[in-house]
Structure 1
């Protein structure tokens, strides 16, 4: 029987196991704790469990989803790739630039199997439309781009003290920059390379974290458009949007609702989106598309090289701040 595997036991790991069951109902789903601890019961949507990476490699799964904490992505991914096992690595590529570079070197070897990074927002239907409209210069010359995401960290995961979460722990790759790096990825994917102008990172007294829970960065595109990106762990009412202002109109993209509005210079609006769309669809599409990469067909997700550029930008931001 064919098998697939997921490393990690967090919320995203649960989602991936459930989705693998939906996409590959005849495959055996193997779970592996990132901490290598022994489990007394099987995790939900798992048919088997191993505790060590060498055990998993010996089982030769078709591919592995690496959903361990960011500081373990490089070691898990490198071992799998060297064993010839394709892997989809959850974002970010690594907790540091050195880790990310090590993983890229391994993924670029001629003998390396398929490897991609789980920047799932690229698979939102309105994300594709947004990218197309920008490339078609639907709003003309772009002057300003404002990107924001915020959500209250204590409400992210029920039943878990937020201070014990990966998001809150520096040694595991926590902090708003790494945890919310989806925004940095799609900004580069849609608008091209970004150069940093200014960065301000803060740790509020409210959450008492050792990592940043407030991020404000100012960047510029190759065409000198100003990009303002705000990330935080503090907003009680979740926000996730992107606003683009150009000389021929504006784009307002609400990612929480999968809604995109194009308004021209005359005030006429055109709306894109699907009110029936479910967020899990983008995760299913991402996995389905990864199957294309394994089969050497066109792949639309984030490559390891692109994900390295996100980590590189984060490193530049941290050094500047």
Structure 2
């Protein structure tokens, strides 16, 4: 099977390294106009025309978010299945291109890389919610906080996508996993009640380093989401409270617990899985489920909703 990787930043390198472990299963090429300073030179393709003429079975789009949509539409028009790194685009996306891409889902597989859906602890929480272990959900609180320079210690954070508006950076886009999780676990977001974003820290960037949202979904009328990459130590997780109990999840440790109305706790007991395996799970799901889509993956339509929430939030926060 031929796999095209578009872009060779952190995500592109991760997928290239992962797929090269399966040399007999996948033939991999990298679409990148600039030179690659590594032993991957023989795998490089310089133009989109050459990439399409190579006739890949699937493409993994790992370029900056500002380029995702245009590249996805061009590749999708040729019947190439797409795994797109999150976010699917930026909030100022081209509406016509987005609608075209969503229509392609009738004929090809399109999956957006909201990787947290593949964590065993998230699957466990999803199952508990679907089995109605919680009755009437009253509130849900999601938090993701970290220190941007710690993300990639061998790279100047000021040069990364995260810190640059023109590349699709900022806390809302870069940490949009939590927005996706909220709509994945608590169903469609119907309303944005409140939003705020700002640049608070001394970090050098032209984007917001923190944001807060208050949302309403069909399952929960009180959802708070707080995002930042300007605090330490790192913290990531959520709690969902109801009239008869609570679910807590620590995403960093992959631990989750269900606490009933009497205070009795039921913990998820599986061991923590490394992120290499989680990305492999995501890729395997993408490859093996062309004809059997499930709600595990984030579709183009669902990813668009995340962007629309961000767009509205930025409007309210200005």
Short-chain TM bin: over 0.9
Partner of 2:313: 317
Compute the displacement of 1:39 (Å): 3.2
Partner SS for 1:134: helix
Sort the Cα spacing of 1:250 and 1:284 in 2 relative to 1 into closer, same or farther, 3 A.
same
CA deviation profile, 1:250-280 (whole Å, cap 9, x unmatched)? 1110111111101111111010042342122
> Matches of 1:26 and 1:306 in 2, distance apart?
30
Count the aligned residue pairs: 315
Residue-by-residue CA offset, 1:125-175 (whole Å, 9 max, x unaligned): 111111121222312211111100111101111221111100011011100
SS state at 2:112 partner: strand
**Is the Cα–Cα contact under 8 Å of residues 5 and 64 in structure 1 kept in the other structure?**
yes
Is 1:3 aligned with 2:7?
Answer: no
Cα distance in 1 for partners of 2:23, 2:99 equals: 28
1:292 Cα deviation from its structure 2 partner: 2.7
Aligned to 1:215: 211
Aligned with 2:75: secondary structure? helix
Residue 199 of structure 2: which of 193, 198, 203 is its match? 203
**Any conservation in 1 of the 2:20–2:26 contact (CA below 8 Å)?**
yes
Q: Tell which deviates more after alignment, 88-97 or 131-140.
A: 131-140
Is residue 14 of structure 1 aligned with residue 13 of structure 2?
A: yes
Query: Of 262, 277, 280, which aligns to 1:281?
Result: 277
* 1:37 and 2:34 correspond: yes
Which residue of structure 2 aligns with residue 193 of structure 1? 188
Q: 1:175–1:211: 8 Å Cα contact kept in structure 2?
A: yes
Which residue is equivalent to 1:308? 304
Q: Out of 157, 164, 169, which is 2:164 matched to?
A: 169
> What corresponds to 1:293 in structure 2?
289
Task: Find the aligned partners of 1:220 and 1:74 in 2 and give their Cα distance.
Answer: 28
TM-score by length of 2: 0.93
| Number of the residue aligned with 2:250 | 254
TM-score (norm 1): 0.92
**How far apart are residue 108 of structure 1 and its match?**
1.0
Deviation at 1:291, TM superposition (A): 1.2
Partner Cα separation in structure 1 for residue 280 and residue 22 of structure 2: 8
Q: Does 296-305 or 156-165 show the bigger shift?
A: 296-305
3-state SS of the aligned residue for 1:316?
helix
1:97-116 residue pairs with structure 2 within 5 A? 97-99=92-94, 102-109=97-104, 112-116=107-111
The answer to whether residue 73 in structure 2 is matched with residue 78 in structure 1 is yes
Say if 1:89 and 1:116, in contact at 8 Å, map to a contact too: yes
Residues 265-280 of structure 1 aligned to structure 2 (within 5 Å): 265-280=261-276
Q: Which residue of 1 aligns with 2:91?
A: 96
Aligned-partner Cα distance in 1 for 2:42–2:70: 25
User: Is 1:77–1:103's contact at 8 Å kept on the other side of the alignment?
Assistant: no
What's the counterpart of residue 48 of structure 1? Answer: 43
- On the 8 A contact 1:81/1:107 being kept in 2, the answer is no
Tell me the C-alpha RMSD between the 2 structures: 1.9
What is the CA–CA distance in structure 1 between the aligned matches of 2:145 and 2:91, rounded to whole Å? Answer: 23
